[in-house]
Structure 1
Amino acid sequence: MPLVKIRKIKLDIEEVHHEGGAAVAQPLLVAVAVAVVDNPYAGQHVDDLLPFMNELRALGSELSQRLISALGGAGRVQAYGKGAIVGEDGELEHGALWHEAGGWAMREALGNPKAIVPAAKSVAGLGSRIMIPLGHTQAAYVRSHFGVAEMTVWDGPRRNEIAFGLAMATGGRIHARIGGLAAAEVKGEDGLR
């Protein structure tokens, strides 16, 4: 019997044309794919969580492919992040399963970029939202790509559910101008620079 039971999947795409300055020729696209699933460990403490984490890899792959398709291909993705909201009968550790399962799947789908996948997780109720941190896919020090993507589901997660989300963006912040390592200068060797 499978541990991952999906109630719903949601895909959000945000299109940013400007942030107070002139409109850009190519809008920034920020997409979030979230799946609301049953929490097989709700209301109980289970020592071995790894079977659920292993099954979540397939969900991570599915959400990654939906995002890549929505953004026009893996070559267009420059930033990413992941998040989880655990319903009230679960524990934060259940959301932490997404670090490996979601992050691994997203990196594989994008050709194994070097930078760490930023993450956020929480235990919360219906309609809660979490801001998924975004970072450049190849180099963590690219300040222009520090951003967020909102993840929320109006009717989830229920007490016995978890909302697992992945986020991708086609670039950094519109009108970024705080210096630091420019995306064009990334070497992509160590995940930092």
Structure 2
Amino acid sequence: MIDIRKTQLSVEEIWHERGARAATPLRVATALAIVRNPFAGRHELDLLSFQAELRSLGRTLSEKLVDALGAASIEAYGKGAIVGEDGELEHGALWHEAGGWALRELLGGPKAIVPAAKTVGTLGTRLMVPLGHIHAAYVRSHFGTAEMTVWDGPRRDEIAYALVAATGGRIHSRAGGLAASDIGGEDGLR
């Protein structure tokens, strides 16, 4: 059921945010795929078979992120979906389980939620995908975003699914809150 038209991997390096230059840049990667929407133009009650099929795409995109950044380096993650105009927002919601499961598995089972964003859009739609710390949702320094966009997608009958990851928190983070070094719980929250 997964008909991939194209994939894209982008990696940005952030050295500073007007402050001192970091010794090592923050690296933020986005891996995405444009796939045909099998439900475009119609309402389908049972979407779960497609969700199950999306797990293979989740694994593929997760592997691209791990190859780009290294599993041990990833401290923040997120996921996003842009559904073409002939689809429903619910078609993007199928990515919650399929994308999040695959990324968590490759990273050794972190407990924090994989933050998500989804929308219905057209060619070139930009979606800012939220990032959060992989082990504790309350680590403010790792609240960030990664952009997902493709100049020629999604077309009306397509969906863009993406996974994003970062090697750390925001450069020059100073908004307080729980520090990554102070994570103590095992529940994905603190």
The TM-score with structure 1 as length reference comes to: 0.98
**2:19 match:** 21
Match of 2:161 in 1: 164
Tell me, yes or no, if the aligned pair for 1:114 and 1:188 is still in contact at 8 Å: no
Q: Which residue identity lines up with residue 66 of structure 1 in the other structure? A: K
For 1:7-156, what aligned pairs fall within 5 Å after superposition? 7-71=5-69, 73-156=70-153
1:15–1:27 CA contact under 8 A, matched in 2: yes
1:177 aligns with 2:146: no
Q: What stretches of structure 2 of length at least 5 have no aligned partner?
A: none
Alpha-carbon RMSD across the aligned residues, in angstroms, is 0.5
Report the Cα offset of residue 187 of structure 1.
Answer: 2.0
- Counterpart CA distance in 2 for 1:188 and 1:131 is 29
Q: How far 1:178 moved relative to its partner?
A: 1.0
Q: Percent identity?
A: 69
Separation in structure 2 between the aligned mates of residue 188 and residue 37 of structure 1, nearest angstrom: 38
The 3-state SS of whatever aligns with 2:94 is helix
The letter for the 2-side match of 1:187 is G
Q: TM-score, normalised by structure 2?
A: 0.99
Distance (Å, rounded) in 2 between the aligned partners of 1:99 and 1:187: 26
Counterpart of 1:170 in structure 2: which amino acid? T
Matched residue of 1:165: which SS?
strand
CA distance in 1, matches of 2:58, 2:47: 17
Which aligned segments of 4 or more residues in structure 1 are displaced greater than 6 angstroms? none
Specify the SS of the correspondent of 1:26: coil
